[in-house]
Structure 1
């Protein structure tokens, strides 16, 4: 019997009691928890308003930044496209034209413009050289004489 008694007193780790089983804590009201008090509700409301204001400002600034970035892209393509707003017609987005820092990448804009002009050549600016008077409408030119030379020149017969 002594062997059985010693086995019963020696418990294996699985059989030992866990801290969850032996709850020795006394239920005390939590000093840090102030949920439900009027002051906590007011403070939560104040922080919620601040967050909403910050989100609204962020959205406004994001929209302004996108307008500025679109303007920059259109400025970069203005010398090659008849209507710079055509850059957005085939689905180009600001996100596809910015670098890792969020700045407009001129190389990407240039690549986009080249691909647009390859697909839609009629969107480009056509540059015409001035024709001048090369056809039959050319006026006859005479050598110009100043008045001093004309005074001493022989008279035409």
Structure 2
């Protein structure tokens, strides 16, 4: 995996465990071609290393004001499937949105934390402070703390 980025010229490639992302600021059609070329380079690397990507998991988030560029350009997987443009996609545990906010991510975190708190309250009949504190620190607080520095300046979800 250490050489997966060799040959990628214009794009930024990052990998963590079994996740890989390829990104490039695109302001014109030539840069779209450059991004597709870099994707094709990664696909060739996968083929030469006897590896396959799960094309069903390919996601693309588009940022910016140029609606015609966003609407008219397309990127493709190795198998020729069009990569879907989504309003938000997950990257290394954070949900990135096309409006460059973390609103969707914050709402997901709050929903997971509320769900876990509900599970704790339904599962454990004791309300002894030390037990509740241990459960909070072990099961709920890590959900809230993950990416907390990144999200510190964002507006919180009220729903």
> TM-score range with shorter-chain normalisation?
under 0.3
State the TM-score, normalized to the length of structure 2: 0.25
Relative to total residues, which structure has the larger helix share, 1 or 2? 1
* TM norm structure 1: 0.26
> Highest Rg: 1 or 2?
1
